[in-house]
Amino acid sequence: MVEEFIAGKHGKGKIKYFLPRLEPILKETYGVILYQEQVMKIAQVLANYSLAEADELRKGHREEKQDVMDKHQARFVEGPPSTE
């Protein structure tokens, strides 16, 4: 990850975005997720998270809480809960 950032910064590597929707979020860090705020914004954009839900994800990731991460993995894979 550090190597990708350095290469991108110096124009020596190809900057890759996993999805086109991530480019506006990761452009300033050359396609690399460096900041917790980026994790939150990605959750909002890709999984329609509220700010509170994105913050819960961020905290679970930072504190390496597997139960929290498992819960959020299901949401990313299956999508947000239905409101029907």
Distance CA 2, CA 76 (A): 26
In order of 41, 45, 68, 81, the CA distances from 51 in angstroms are: 8, 11, 16, 16
Distance CA 63, CA 4 (A): 25
Mention every residue, 6+ apart, whose C-beta is less than 8 A from residue 38: 25, 26, 29
Tokens matching residue 9: 């910064």
Distance CA 29, CA 15 (A): 10
Please write the tens of the pLDDT for every residue from 69-84. Answer: 888 888 777 766 665 5
Please write the tens of the pLDDT for every residue from 43-75. Answer: 999 888 999 999 998 998 888 889 888 888 887
Q: Is the pTM of this model over 0.85?
A: no
